Structure 1
Amino acid sequence: MSFPRLSPWQLAFWALILVISLPLLRILASWFEPSSDIWIHLYQTRLGSIVSNTLLLLFGVAIGVTLLGVALAWAVTLCEFPGRKILEWLLFLPFALPAYVLGFIYLGIFDFPGPVQTWLRDTFGWAGLDIRAYGLTLVIVMTLVLYPYVYMLARTAFYAQNSALIESARLMGMNGWQVFWKVSLPLARPAIAAGAMLALMETLADFGTVTLYNYHTLTSAIFSVWENFRSLQVAAQLSTLLLVIAVLLIFIERFSRGRARYDARHRISYRPYKLTGLAGWSVTIIISLVVFLAFILPLIQLLIWAWEAFSIEWDRRYFDWMGNTFTLAGVAALLTVSLAILLNAVRSHTKLSLASKLGLRFANLGYALPGSVLAVGIMLLIIEMGEKLAPGYGIWLSSGVLALLLAYTVRFLAVAYGPIESHFDTITPSMIEAARSLGANQQQLISRIYLPILKPGLVIAAFMVAVDVMKELPATYLLRPYGWDTLAIRVYELSSEGLYDQAALPALMLLGLGLIALLGVAFINKYYQPSRAKNPEPFA
């Protein structure tokens, strides 16, 4: 029996798929190991409430981000009201804010000892309220942080809709609400479903926020089992429940799309609904309130806390934490972007078999997996491999920069793959043939064709991966080397102890880095235009 010969690129492709697959396969293999008494304890005490809490949180966030994201996208794309152009872009800013940062800010402002309830007690004799109860505040916090996923994709879908359909609906006598419900919303359904799915994946992966609000989910249970019982096996088995929910979310999102698609060939050119007077200013106030609650209020509170804590909290350790954060983000971005280039190069220059296409889809599944799931799988894998290669040192190898970089690569490969794929697809075979006919060698093809076209995609991918790595908490918390804290770890540790003013300094740094990356991506998307030579020149 003969096997097809693989090129070096294809060998590298399959080696990468194998490395990405191993942590997931190791988690699934945990069910073949003997069961633990810890499972009996969990089943009798907390397992039911943990699963129900996870599902209820997902349900609440799904409703919140969908309603808020779609309403905001509809308003800024199909209506005209005072301040629309500014508010349209301000609504993106919560992207830069990690959920656990907004979570501890809201606790500091609105919880029982905070300024709001203190003022209510002093002024009106307010009895007080625990805002962590029932998980409602947690749903609000997660919605305010994650609605931009739905808003961004729904906004793009609304802008892309064929203006003739909208005008035809108007001519048939439909009012604004009927046009939205019967025409615009069905056309935008694939984008809305995709945005909601991304928001739910982030909710499923969240660890810091749910811990701050004492809301027990599967993610927090994984950490509890590992820290309190030191059982990686049970943690891995709990991770498979998270994995099942993640796969179900993907299936539901794909099923909800059906065969629906939307394209961007038609940009909106019809008359927007002009909202004047009370209606227009009401929409402006409501959208401004969302921006205020999701970004401006947190920013003001962070600045106040950071100013108060700067003189007593700032020391040289912050340079170490910043250095660790930048090092991990930079190396992870370089590694992940390089691997994304490899995958796209193989996809673009070889005819992929069905197995290769499935492997490529599997490689991009990492973003759908919570960081805690990957961390447990990688920890188990490295411990076992380390014990075989260097007996007695497996546990030390599992908590190191190598394990962290592997987790980041698997988790965020899909983030880098998308922007690079879109730019790879603009390089047509005719362009390569034309360059070769002018005498270009392989090095000149890379330097004068590939790099100029791919450069914006590479920069965007690097920015996005770096920011995600800086904000990533579960994988970093589990796998970091001893004493190798980052800004995200510092924010979580201080805020979990109620030291909100001290947590404001590293949180403000994370927010600043996120804003820089967000502005960088926006600048590249808006202003970068590949240069075109008026007359082709020989490469020789």
Structure 2
Amino acid sequence: MLVGAAVLLSVASLLPLAALVVSAFGGTGEALLHYAETVLPGYLVNTVTLCLAVAVLATTAGVASAWLVTMCRFPGREVFAWALVLPLAMPAYVSAYAYTHLLSHPGPVQTLLRDVTGWGPRDYWFPNIRSLGGAAFVLSMVLFPYVYLMARAAFLQQSASAFEAARIMGRSPWRAFIGVAVPLARPAIVAGLALVMMETLADYGAVSFFGVQTFTTAIYRTWFSLGDRTAAVQLALVLVTLVLLVMALERVGRRGKRFSEAGRPFRGLALSGWQIPAAILACALPVAFGFLVPALTLLGLGLGLDVAWFDPRTTRLIGNTVLVAAVGAVATVSVAIVIAYARRVAGGRLTQVLGQLAGFGYAVPGAVIAVGLLIPFGAFDRWLNGLMVATFGVGTGLILTGTIAALVFAYVVRFLAVSLNGVEAGMARISPSLDWASRTLGAGQGRTFCRVHAPLLSGGLLTAFLITFVDIMKELPATLILRPFNFDTLAIRANRLASDERLAEAAVPSLMIIAVGLIPVILLSRQITRSNQKRGQAAPPREAAAPDPVMVEIIPSAEVDTKAAA
């Protein structure tokens, strides 16, 4: 029964993709051919260019900062170790609002420049933030922590022997870093980079606000502005193909490789002279650009407003946001518990496939999931309404479409991998002997979980809940498409105000999203600190080892070498 429920839930997570495939093949393809001759090449070029630019910037910032805080010793290293995670609390579209206000022509930066120099509007050149380059900068500054977390975990697990051998052979620290440390950490870096690229492909809020035409914005506009459902579905399948390509490249990058095994801990290079301010600057810039600058900009805008921050409308938005995020997080974690527990007690190839199926939704943009759900839910509502009218003369209207249930379903599909990896990370740290003892005493699977696993999983379940909660709060396209009529959230309100160029008013809901998002980020930072404090302890045998809880709970696509336990 447990395995059957897990199979049913895993298959249900593929419902949006299955609906897209069926609907796309049911169309004529003429709309897609028309798009291919007109705007599709532009969408493809913009999407690929954006992904490549974000990949380069995020990898550079993430790997460099991870190396400095892990392998070097300089003042402030302990602060930067957790501060570099803060941009995870900053939604990309919120950062886009802040930088637009800060760097646009009437913004404070260009205004100050004109006041100091006396230049007129046409006397100087200034980079346009509302461009593809601006979108790449904003996305890379809020997404680089994925690479940072993965690279830092790999560097922590590396033995000092290989690096010191390179130094003995005459290589400089820089050449040893490039030639030894980075290749050993490459599987981890590739895994983090794949997440960055998938998040870039899935982004809607930042690129739409900046006016960059990508596949995600094209899907939303084609479906809702042009009313062409078939073309929107076919564009969504093209985007899913790009996502699958990224996942395949990530698998190829890790083929036959493992994260480096833990050995003698690396004591770190003591920096001196000009190296100290250079290291501080290299770590401070990503934190400043990814979190401090946009957060302080929005705070200044919010404080400058002569309005109440907690008026009845804002309070209602907060309630709606917390409601859908809490319900969605509880539902997602509950489904993750069923699947994870089935994989633990059943074993076998089937249960291994379950995890792969359930994790696919994380790689699919929210807009694609929303469009994929509208098709079967709309068909079911029309069928049920017709049946009730023909049988009883009473129409049922919309039962699933445009309801909280549909929205929660989309959240479960989108973020199930995040909760699943968090739950499985906690279960991996529970000895199988406890299961055997409980079953020997006559307890069934359900009672064993309630009496044994649940108390031991409390910390991991709380972490998975908080992370899923904040991910749902930040999710914009799925909420925008599937929300019930006249049901807004903080993200929807911020997006609507920013789209109307009312950036000052958009600052208040944006700041509230950031404030709540800091809770799991602070928790994550504490976990990283505890993991670092345990560094140097002897690694347990492979059978007793558990995946790094920080990496597995945050990075769904990571495959952490279990030989270096947290």
Task: Report the TM-score when normalising by structure 1.
Answer: 0.91
What letter is aligned with 2:465?
A
The 5 Å alignment of 1:123-522 reads 123-124=116-117, 125=119, 126-129=123-126, 131-132=128-129, 134-263=131-260, 265-266=262-263, 269-309=265-305, 311=307, 314-353=310-349, 355-391=350-386, 397-435=400-438, 445-522=448-525
Shift of 1:387: 1.3
SS in 2 for 1:397: coil
Partner of 1:48: 41
Shift of 1:385: 1.4
Distance 1:40 1:253, change over 3 A: closer
**Residue 57 of structure 1, aligned match among 26, 50, 68:** 50
Contact 2:240 2:364 in 1 (8 A): yes
The 5 Å alignment of 1:6-17 reads 8-17=1-10
Partner of 2:390: none
**Residue 75 of structure 1, aligned match among 68, 76, 79:** 68
Return the alpha-carbon distance in structure 2 between the equivalents of residues 137 and 470 of structure 1: 24
Distance 1:180 1:199, change over 3 A: same
What letter is aligned with 1:12?
A
Contact 1:121 1:127 in 2 (8 A): no
Partner of 1:33: 26
What is the CA deviation profile of residues 68-111 of structure 1, one whole-angstrom value per residue up to 9, with x for unaligned ones? 11111111111112211111211110010000011111010001
Shift of 1:525: 6.5
5+ unaligned residues in a row in structure 1: which ranges? 1-7, 530-540
Distance 1:444 1:348, change over 3 A: closer
SS in 2 for 1:309: coil
* Comparing 271-280 and 186-195, the one that deviates more: 271-280
Return the alpha-carbon distance in structure 2 between the equivalents of residues 59 and 506 of structure 1: 31
Contact 2:326 2:469 in 1 (8 A): yes
* Comparing 122-131 and 449-458, the one that deviates more: 122-131
* Comparing 393-402 and 170-179, the one that deviates more: 393-402
Return the alpha-carbon distance in structure 1 between the equivalents of residues 447 and 342 of structure 2: 19
What letter is aligned with 1:373?
V
What letter is aligned with 1:367?
Y
| RMSD between superposed Cα atoms in Å | 2.2
Shift of 1:197: 0.6
What is the CA deviation profile of residues 115-138 of structure 1, one whole-angstrom value per residue up to 9, with x for unaligned ones? 111222233214354614651111
Distance 1:264 1:408, change over 3 A: farther
Shift of 1:309: 1.9
Matched, 1:89 2:86: no
5+ unaligned residues in a row in structure 2: which ranges? 387-394, 534-566
Question: How many percent of aligned residue pairs carry the same amino acid?
Answer: 37
What letter is aligned with 2:345?
H
Return the alpha-carbon distance in structure 2 between the equivalents of residues 473 and 279 of structure 1: 42
Distance 1:273 1:513, change over 3 A: same
Shift of 1:179: 1.5
Partner of 1:117: 110
SS in 1 for 2:244: helix
Distance 1:395 1:131, change over 3 A: farther
Distance 1:526 1:75, change over 3 A: closer
Return the alpha-carbon distance in structure 2 between the equivalents of residues 487 and 273 of structure 1: 45
What is the CA deviation profile of residues 458-512 of structure 1, one whole-angstrom value per residue up to 9, with x for unaligned ones? 1111011100000000100000011110001111111111111101100110000
What is the CA deviation profile of residues 296-352 of structure 1, one whole-angstrom value per residue up to 9, with x for unaligned ones? 111211111111125266521111111111111111111111111100111111132
Return the alpha-carbon distance in structure 2 between the equivalents of residues 114 and 162 of structure 1: 49
Task: Report the TM-score when normalising by structure 2.
Answer: 0.87
Partner of 1:534: none
Distance 1:55 1:441, change over 3 A: closer
What is the CA deviation profile of residues 415-453 of structure 1, one whole-angstrom value per residue up to 9, with x for unaligned ones? 001111112122333222334556767676334421222
Contact 1:111 1:129 in 2 (8 A): no
SS in 1 for 2:138: helix
Return the alpha-carbon distance in structure 1 between the equivalents of residues 226 and 105 of structure 2: 33
What letter is aligned with 2:366?
G
Number of residues of Structure 1 aligned to a counterpart in Structure 2: 520
Return the alpha-carbon distance in structure 2 between the equivalents of residues 15 and 270 of structure 1: 47
